Amino acid sequence: MKHLFIAGNWKSNKGIAETEDWLRQFSVKWKDIGVVLCVPFTLLYLLKEEIARLQLPIKLGAQDVSAFGEGAYTGEINAGQIKELADWVIIGHSERRKNLKETDDMLAQKVVQAQNAGLKIIYCVQDEHIPIPVGIDVVAYEPPWAISAVSNWKTQDPQVAGQVCALIKKRYPELTVLYGGSANAENVQSFILQPSIEGILSGGASLDPVKFANLIKNAIIASS
C-alpha cells in the first residue's frame, strides 16, 4: 500500500460561517495517510481550535508565506506567525506566480523563511523543468491549464501526469510527489493508480466537505 498524502487548497474562499459548516459536514475516517488543509490566513486560528476540539487528523497549512522575516513589511504574514497556527505552507502555486509575479528567486527566499521557522513545504511546479529548491518536503505537479477554475474540470491525462511525476521522482527521490489539477472523487483513482503519484493537491473539490471526503475515500481504495 502506498503512503498517501492528500492536500486541500481552499485558495481565496470561505469565511467563518462557511468554515464552521464545512467542519460540521466533513466526515471520513482514515489512518496512515496525511491530510493537510491549506486555508486563508484568516481561518487558521478557528480551524486549529476546531480540529483539536473535534480530534480530526487534519494538519493545517497556509497558502503563502512572506519572503521576509519579522519587521516593517506591511501586509506580510511571516513564517513564524504561520508556525504558531499551522505546520505546512504551499509555495510556488501557479496562480501566485502569474497574478503576483512571484519569481523563482522570491520563492527561494520564501522557502528559506519557511524552513527557518520549521514549516513543512508543499512546493508547486507547473512542469518537470521548474527548479525545485533544496529542503522541501512535498512537490505538487500542477499544469496551470488543468486547474479546475480554468479547465472546467478537464484534468491532465493520468498517464502523462504519471510520467511527469516519475521524472520528478527520479530527480528528487526523497520528495513526496503529488498531482493537482481538477482532481475529484470521480477521477482520483486514475491518478493514484500511477506508480509515481503519491497523492493529490485538490483545490475546487476540497471546498465541498462531502466531495473532499469522497476524494479521500476513493484515493485510499486505489492505494490499497
Q: Considering beta carbons, is residue 65 or 73 the nearer one to ligand PGA?
A: 65
Q: In terms of C-beta density within 10 A (0-12 exposed, 13-18 middle, 19 or more buried), how is residue 87 classed?
A: middle
CB of 171 to ligand PGA, least distance (A): 22
Which distant-in-sequence residues (6+ apart) come within 8 Å of 131 by Cβ? Answer: 104
Q: Considering beta carbons, is residue 80 or 210 the nearer one to ligand PGA?
A: 210
224 CA to centre of own chain: 22
Do 26 and 209 meet the contact criterion of CB atoms below 8 Å apart?
yes
CB of 8 to ligand PGA, least distance (A): 9
Q: Residue 190 interacts with ligand PGA (CB under 6 A)?
A: no
CB of 180 to ligand PGA, least distance (A): 4
Which CA distances in Å does 136 have to 94, 111, 174, 196, 199? 17, 8, 9, 18, 16
In this structure, what DSSP letter does residue 199 have? Answer: E
32 CA to centre of own chain: 18
Buried b (16+ CB within 10 A) or exposed e, 163-183: ebbebbbeeeeebbbbbbbbb
Taking CB under 6 A as the criterion, which residues in 23-82 touch ligand PGA?
Answer: none
Marked catalytic residue, from 50, 93, 128, 129 = 93
Q: Residue 113 interacts with ligand PGA (CB under 6 A)?
A: no
Do 60 and 37 meet the contact criterion of CB atoms below 8 Å apart?
yes
Sketch the per residue contact string, 141 through 180, with ligand PGA: x for CB under 6 A, - otherwise. Answer: -x----xxx------------------------------x
Give the type of residue at 32: D
Q: Binding residue for ligand PGA (CB under 6 A) from 203, 215, 216, 223?
A: 203
Q: Binding residue for ligand PGA (CB under 6 A) from 22, 204, 219, 223?
A: 204
Q: Considering beta carbons, is residue 148 or 190 the nearer one to ligand PGA?
A: 148
Marked catalytic residue, from 95, 102, 142, 198 = 142
Whether residue 93 lies in the annotated active site: yes
Q: Considering beta carbons, is residue 67 or 95 the nearer one to ligand PGA?
A: 95
Applying CB under 6 A, the residues found at the interface with ligand PGA are 9, 142, 147-149, 180-183, 201-205
Residues annotated catalytic, as ranges? 93, 142
